[in-house]
C-alpha cells in the first residue's frame, strides 16, 4: 500500500496546486486508488479465508452438538428408530453446513465493508494532508489555509465561502453573505449572531452608511473585483493585510472573530 499512498499524495498535491478544493480533490483521489482499495480488501479478507471458515466451523459445531443430543435421546428412548435418528442427524448436519456457508458469506461481506471504509478514511487523510501542505506553501506567513485561492469565474456566494476557507476558517464559523452596498440590505445580515463576512459583487458600490453599520457590528466587507478582494471595512483590511504578511502566524479569519467580539463586548 505504500505505492498507493504515494500515488494518492502526488495526485492530491497536483490537484490542490491546480486550484481544486478539498472535497473534489478527495473524491478524485478515491477514484484513483479505488482498485488498490479493492485489492487490499480482498487480501485482508479473502472469500474463503479465516472469517468464512470460522463461521462454518461454528455452525458445524452446533450441528454436531445437536446430533449428539439426538443420538443420546434415540439410544435411550422408548421404541427408538435407528434409521430415523440417523436421517435426522444427517439433516441437522446439512442444515448446519448451509447455515454456516450463508453466515460466513455475510461475515466476509461485513468485514470487507469495514476494511474498505478504513482504507477510504486513510486515503482521505492522505489527500487532505497533501492539500493542506500545498496551500500552506502558497502563503507568505506561517499559518494554515483550508482551501485554494478562488478564481475569477466563481459565483460570488461560493467565492465568499472559498475565500474564508483560504483565510483559515476550518470549521465554517463565519457566516458568509452576498449583499449590495446599501445599509438597508446589510442590516438584517448583520443581525446574525457571530462574525459575518459580506462579499459585495463586482460593480456594486458600498454606501458610507453601510460601511458605518458594518464597522459598528465588527463585520468584514469585502469587495469582489475579479479574482482579488478589496477591503470595505477595517476588519476586512486587517484580514487582507494579515493574509499578505510574511510575519503572520495566525489564520487571518481570526481577525473577524476578534472584531465581532470587540464590537459586541459592551452589549
Q: Quickly tell me which residue has 458469506 as its cell.
A: 105
The number of folded domains in the chain is: 2
How many of the other CB atoms lie within 10 Å of CB of 67?
A: 19
In-domain check, residue 145: no
CA 94 vs. chain centroid, Å, equals 46
Region 135-155: mean pLDDT is: 90
Q: Give me the residues paired with residue 225 across strands.
A: 228
Q: 223 and 123 in one domain? A: no
Average of per-residue pLDDT values in the chain:
90
- Residue 114 structural domain: 2-138
CB 16 within 8 A of CB 148: yes
Q: 129 and 19 in one domain? A: yes
pLDDT surpasses 80 at 253: yes
Q: 35 and 66 in one domain? A: yes
Q: 16 and 90 in one domain? A: yes
Whether this prediction's pTM lies above 0.85 is answered by no
Provide the Cα torsion 11, 15, 16, 18; round to 10°. 140
In-domain check, residue 21: yes
Provide, for the chain, the percentages of residues in helix, strand and coil under a 3-state DSSP scheme, each rounded to the nearest 5.
Answer: 65, 10, 25
CA 213 vs. chain centroid, Å, equals 37
Summarised one tens digit per residue, pLDDT across range 158-167 is 888 999 999 9
Q: 87 and 113 in one domain? A: yes
Q: Give me the residues paired with residue 197 across strands.
A: 176, 220
In-domain check, residue 13: yes
Fill in the DSSP letter of residue 33: T
CB 65 within 8 A of CB 47: no
Distance (Å, rounded) from C-alpha 209 to C-alpha 226? Answer: 25
**pLDDT score for 107:** 96
**pLDDT score for 78:** 52
How many of the other CB atoms lie within 10 Å of CB of 153?
A: 8
In-domain check, residue 143: no
Q: 92 and 35 in one domain? A: yes
In-domain check, residue 162: yes
Q: 199 and 112 in one domain? A: no
Q: Where are the beta strands (DSSP E) in the chain?
A: 175-178, 196-200, 220-225, 228-231
Q: 127 and 26 in one domain? A: yes
Q: Is the dihedral of CA 144, 148, 150, 156 positive or negative?
A: negative
Distance (Å, rounded) from C-alpha 6 to C-alpha 47? Answer: 28
Q: 161 and 131 in one domain? A: no
In-domain check, residue 147: no
CB half-sphere exposure, 56, CA atoms < 13 A: 13
Q: 123 and 24 in one domain? A: yes
Tell me the chain's radius of gyration from C-alpha atoms: 32
Summarised one tens digit per residue, pLDDT across range 186-217 is 888 788 888 999 998 887 778 888 889 999 99
- Closest Cα partner for 194 from 224, 165, 169? 169
- Closest Cα partner for 261 from 191, 206, 199, 194? 194
**Domain boundary residue, one of 108, 138, 168:** 138
In-domain check, residue 151: no
Q: 133 and 11 in one domain? A: yes
**Domain boundary residue, one of 104, 138, 172:** 138
In-domain check, residue 175: yes
Summarised one tens digit per residue, pLDDT across range 6-63 is 999 999 999 999 999 999 999 999 999 999 999 999 999 999 999 999 999 999 999 8
Q: 114 and 9 in one domain? A: yes
Amino acid at each position: 500500500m505504500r505505492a498507493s499512498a504515494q500515488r494518492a499524495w502526488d495526485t492530491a498535491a497536483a490537484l490542490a496546486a491546480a486550484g481544486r478544493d478539498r472535497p473534489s480533490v478527495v473524491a478524485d483521489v478515491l477514484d484513483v486508488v479505488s482498485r488498490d482499495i479493492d485489492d487490499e480488501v480482498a487480501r485482508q479478507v479473502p472469500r474463503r479465508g479465516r472469517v468464512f471458515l470460522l463461521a462454518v466451523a461454528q455452525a458445524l459445531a452446533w450441528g454436531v452438538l445437536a446430533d449428539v443430543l439426538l443420538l443420546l435421546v434415540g439410544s435411550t428412548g422408548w421404541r427408538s428408530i435407528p434409521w430415523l435418528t440417523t436421517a435426522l442427524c444427517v439433516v441437522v448436519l446439512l442444515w448446519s453446513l448451509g447455515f454456516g456457508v450463508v453466515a460466513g458469506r455475510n461475515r466476509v461481506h461485513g468485514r470487507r465493508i469495514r476494511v474498505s471504509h478504513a482504507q477510504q478514511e486513510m486515503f482521505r487523510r492522505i489527500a487532505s494532508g497533501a492539500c493542506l501542505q500545498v496551500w500552506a506553501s502558497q502563503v507568505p506567513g506561517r499559518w494554515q489555509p483550508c482551501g485554494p485561492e478562488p478564481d475569477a469565474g466563481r459565483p460570488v456566494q461560493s467565492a465568499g465561502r472559498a475565500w474564508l476557507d483560504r483565510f483559515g476558517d476550518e470549521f465554517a464559523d463565519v457566516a458568509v453573505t452576498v449583499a449590495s452596498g446599501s445599509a438597508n440590505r446589510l442590516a438584517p445580515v448583520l443581525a446574525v449572531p457571530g462574525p459575518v463576512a459580506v462579499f459585495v459583487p463586482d460593480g456594486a458600490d458600498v454606501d458610507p452608511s453601510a460601511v458605518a453599520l458594518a464597522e459598528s457590528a465588527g463585520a468584514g466587507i469585502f469587495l469582489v473585483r475579479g479574482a482579488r478582494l478589496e477591503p470595505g471595512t477595517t476588519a476586512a483590511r486587517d484580514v487582507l493585510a494579515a493574509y499578505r504578511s510574511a510575519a503572520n502566524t495566525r489564520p487571518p479569519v481570526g481577525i473577524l472573530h476578534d472584531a465581532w467580539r470587540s464590537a459586541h463586548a459592551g452589549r
